[in-house]
Amino acid sequence: MAVSWYAVAFLAATALGASIAPNQQVFEKSACGRVWMTIHSPSIRTSGGGSLLDAIELNWDFSTCSNVPMQIGLFDNRPLSWNNAIAVFSIDSVEGFVITNVSLGEGKLPAGWNTGTGFKGPHCLWPWVGAGDSHIVAYNCLKIQPTWMEDNSDRINKLRIGELVIPGTHNAGAWRFDTEISTISRDSFVLCQDRSIWAQLVHGIRYFDFRIAYYDFYPREEDRYWLNHNLIRVRPLLPLLREIRAFLDSTKEVVFLDAHHFPLGFYHQNGAPIQEVHLGLLRLVQLELGPHIATASQFATGPGTRGPTLQTLVDADKRLLFSYVDNNIVAGNRWLWPILPHLWANTNSPSDLFHYLDRMIDISPLPSARSPLFSAMAQTTPTVLDILFLRGSLRENADSVNRNVTARLISRWRHNANIISSDFFLANDVIDVSIALSVERSNRL
């Protein structure tokens, strides 16, 4: 990649909380270049003929260094000696990655965050990566970042929301089926994530792309709203709203919720909105998230602007922004935030995707944009034939894209990107990079 990681690596040591956790542990260190960890989204074949899920990837970039380390290794604690490595691999290029045959596993979220509020600050999961020659000179861990906005509040709270770099998830609720007829945990063309909404929040995701459907055969209105992937019913909405509420209740983080698409039940055949269905959804959101909702009528700053500062939202303790894709409904409910532009290439070609996003991110936001936010939809889209003939999978598609999403955010998108929405977010490093770049932007003010 053309842009040096040195500045971002320096920010990682100062802005990402390398030494601010309760135990004062250093999480990331490198004199030059950088190493980091991701999770391989497709399953891989093992030597015994089986398959391995969630294989750990070790990534490096030493393109700006005069000396490139000779080896990289996987560890189960902070790397101090090669004798403690679980696996060691040769480095034969200045930047690259290696897929290990070790799975991350389901494991609990650390520092008390598995089912409730834990300790502030970043915290390491079990795997670490280290690189060097005879001595280890660079290391990093796979982290959660549950309170990254508060951790960096003195640096980033002066930014407007449209100036932030915000890690997001595409089809955020499509992570595991929870219906009367299916509890399947993986699906080739439906599931886009492999962590719950709570886990996404704890890892550091702050933008959620929801696709909401309505099923009138449930007796209780609150049970009729579901998160779908197109026409496929995946999970009920209500429990996920309650996970977001629990997170907002216990942190000072700002969350962006986007009703991006209504695939079923919200419109008449002539395209007119079914008012009572939309209003039922709005009642449900207000009931569950109401105390935290930042209303557009109070906090919006007008077309073509970048929105309120984080500090304004935190001071008012209104830290949930709800964007809505239907202009007619927004016009009648002034607390809703207007349509959030989605930069969607609608292609199954990674090269076409990046060509499109490079161009669109450069010119966004448009001067007339009503929303201060915009989302780069950083995933490819299978064609109908791909699905019919089972060509590939969403996991394979994500694998062909996610490493380049990390690289693009560091380089080409560095100065202008706002929300980056991806599939299988652990397969990229968007969360840590977004935090560092938000701090970098704040330092320029």
The pLDDT value given to residue 298: 97
Give the pLDDT confidence score for residue 25 in this predicted structure.
Answer: 67
pLDDT of 283 reads 98
CB 102 within 8 A of CB 56: yes
Q: Three-class SS of residue 117?
A: coil
CATH architecture of 148-444: Alpha-Beta Barrel (3.20)
Q: Which helix (H) or strand (E) holds 328?
A: helix 327-332
pLDDT by residue for the chain (445 residues), tens digit each?
Answer: 333 333 344 344 433 333 333 345 689 999 899 999 999 999 998 888 889 999 999 999 999 999 999 999 999 999 999 999 999 999 999 999 999 999 999 878 999 999 899 999 999 999 999 999 999 999 999 999 999 999 999 999 999 999 999 999 999 999 999 987 777 766 889 999 999 999 999 999 999 999 999 999 999 999 999 999 999 999 999 999 999 999 999 999 999 999 999 999 999 999 999 999 999 999 999 999 999 999 999 999 888 899 999 999 999 999 999 999 999 999 999 999 999 999 999 999 999 999 999 999 999 999 889 999 999 999 999 998 888 878 889 999 999 999 999 999 999 999 999 999 999 999 999 999 999 999 999 999 8
As a whole number of angstroms, the distance between CA 385 and CA 325 comes to 28
β-strand partners of 68: none
Backbone dihedral angles phi then psi of residue 103, each to the nearest 5 degrees = -90, 145
The burial class, CB within 10 Å (0-12 / 13-18 / 19+), for 82 is: middle
Residues ≥6 apart with Cβ < 8 Å to 408:
354, 357, 358
Q: 428 φ, ψ to 5°? A: -130, 180
Structure tokens at 438: 């938000």
331 membership: H or E segment, kind and range: helix 327-332
* C-alpha closest to that of 198 among 259, 123, 119, 116: 116
pLDDT of residue 183: 72
| Cβ atoms of residues 212 and 324 within 8 Å | no
Annotated domain spans of the chain: 6-142, 148-444
Full DSSP string of 175-228 = TS--SSS---S--SSS---SS-HHHHHHHT--EEEEEEEE-TTSSSGGGSEEEE
The contacts of residue 271 (CB under 8 Å, 6+ apart) are none
User: Is residue 422 classed as helix, strand or coil in its secondary structure?
Assistant: strand
Q: What is the C-alpha radius of gyration for the chain, rounded to an integer number of angstroms?
A: 21
Going by DSSP bridges, is the β-strand pair 342-343/375-377 parallel, antiparallel, or unpaired? parallel
